């Protein structure tokens, strides 16, 4: 049975979706934008955006009862693959010694003008 995950430590969804869903021992985290949950603001710098996205994912994963080292799969969306190295540097600080499987794509645009969005699948 699926259960929604909601925490005020990550930004509220900007559409008809949950921050995450737990089902069958897994957590499916919706794509997270670099929105500060306390202020609703989005920084301009790509490294700061990446940190904020990863902190938002961590808040959701922890609210569901798991940890970042239990991430299994992530998908990164970037508006500029020229930011790949900067995002990788930040991302590596959050995913532990055994990083999850991952895909990374360049897209033409992201909601609210974000430069990065990351979705994740995590074990409970």
Which segments of 14-117 does DSSP mark as H helices, in order?
A: 46-63, 84-92
116: which strand partners?
Answer: 78
Nearest-angstrom CA–CA distance, 53 and 60: 11
pTM, whole model, 2 decimals? 0.97
User: How many CA atoms lie within 13 Å of 104's alpha carbon, on the beta-carbon side?
Assistant: 14
pLDDT in single tens digits along all 124 residues of the chain: 999 999 999 999 999 999 999 999 999 999 999 999 999 999 999 999 999 999 999 999 999 999 999 999 999 999 999 999 999 999 999 998 999 999 999 999 999 999 999 999 999 9
**Which of the following CATH numbers is that of domain 3-123: 3.40.190.10, 3.30.70.2740, 3.30.1330.40, 3.90.550.10?**
3.30.1330.40
Domain boundaries, the chain: 3-123
Q: Which pair of tokens denotes residue 84?
A: 């790949």
Of 92, 13, 27, 113, nearest to 63 by C-alpha is 27
Structure tokens at 122: 């995590």
Q: What is the rounded CA–CA span in Å between residue 98 and residue 101? A: 9
**Helix, strand counts (H, E) of the chain:** 2, 6
What phi, psi does 56 have (nearest 5°)? Answer: -65, -45
């Amino acid at each position: 049975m699926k259960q929604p995950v909601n925490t005020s430590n990550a930004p509220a969804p900007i559409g008809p979706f949950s921050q995450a869903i737990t089902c069958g021992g897994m957590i499916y985290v919706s794509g997270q934008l670099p929105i500060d949950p306390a202020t609703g603001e989005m920084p301009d710098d790509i490294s700061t955006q990446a940190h904020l996205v990863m902190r938002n994912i961590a808040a959701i994963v922890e609210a569901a009862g798991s940890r970042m080292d239990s991430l299994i799969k992530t998908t990164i969306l970037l508006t500029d693959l020229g930011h790949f190295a900067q995002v990788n540097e930040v991302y590596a600080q959050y995913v532990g010694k055994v990083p999850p499987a991952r895909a990374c794509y360049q897209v033409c645009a992201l909601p609210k003008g974000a430069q990065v969005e990351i979705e994740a699948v995590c074990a409970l």
